[in-house]
Structure 1
Amino acid sequence: MKDFFAAVKDRRTYYGISKASPVSDDRIKEIVHFAVKHVPSAFNSQSGRAVLLLGKSSDDFWSMVKESLRKIVPADKFAPTEEKIDGFGSGYGTVLFFEDSRPVKNLQEQFPAYAAHFPVWSDHSSGMLQYIVWAGLESEGFGASLQHYAPVVEDDVRKKWDIPAQWRLIAQMPFGVPVAGPGEKEFLPLEDRVWIRE
């Protein structure tokens, strides 16, 4: 298992993934549980939710995405879309990330002066949750990517897995053992991105 900074450095977007796993399903569950439990949230609202799809459930999700996109992407342009979705579906599992609107609305009612900010802070927390899971999967030898197909599949996901109406689908993370390396990554100069004043 990698240390924290190695996992942060090595975490990349992997599109080529397989249905193999370097760890047990129990270990994957531990990563997701740990992330959901310990992710920061505004006023400790704990609004983050996750659904871990393994095996057939993950396959079903990506089939659902593909069929939803087939309805809106022109047939003569669908082949690249299908190839991309099939790539995500070739992984070992998928994590669905949600935010529960109920804690957010409760905070808006309790602290009306900050009402407009709570949905934004909820999204911040979700981003951190996604990153913790991503780094955790990386540390165990998985490759993953972050996808955003919520608008086209949210209703179907809600029906299939009995997701509460108050859970808002944010992102999806397919993962599996990498079968191809990530693309090259360029870095902008740090002196333009980090200022230090003493």
Structure 2
Amino acid sequence: MTSTLHDLMIRTPGLPCRLDHEPFFSDQARERAAAVRQCQTCPLRTPCAAYAIETRQAHGVWGGTTAADRRSFRDGRPWRFDEHGQLRLVCGSEAAYRAHFGYREQPCDECTAAHDAHVEAERRARLAVEHEAGGSSRGYHLHRVLGEPACDECKGAQAKRSAADRARGRKSPQRARGGRGVRKSTDTAPGAPADAQTFQRAA
């Protein structure tokens, strides 16, 4: 890749980075921003950025990308330039789906489909764990979320869980529903001492 980029640069006259390379490796943010803008119309922008990403260039502006831009792609994830010249993940993966929110935009259809597939795979992995344990009520609900009939093991586990819940409900103490009780009254009976108290049945 190094020789290829070098050969391309030799065969391409008038490249800004060859005429004056200092802004491309400047410590000043303003000069680096100007270098990024110069790269936008460069015919070698894509191979230059690819070289910097593949070789993990830690300094300088390459193909309109800064070191900070390239840092997210060190792990070899596929990338592309969007319509604004920004370095972005190639769509069609869970990582790209999450990246859409970082860009403050709605995920595209391709990334949404990838996300749905990712979520389903995670749920099926959890369901496999429940099946290894012989089925469970959690597995029963995972079947339902996945939109499929529950297996016999999970269905049986759910039935046992429901029966146990009903049994606990029958054994729980019941609240009193009214009735006649006794209350203390401060009324005194006729002829009784003033401090005497009687008890009457409450209605």
Q: Same fold (TM over 0.5)?
A: no
Per the normalisation by structure 2, the TM-score is 0.22
More strand by share: 1
Per the normalisation by structure 1, the TM-score is 0.23
Higher RCO, 1 vs 2 (CA within 8 Å, ≥6 residues apart): 1
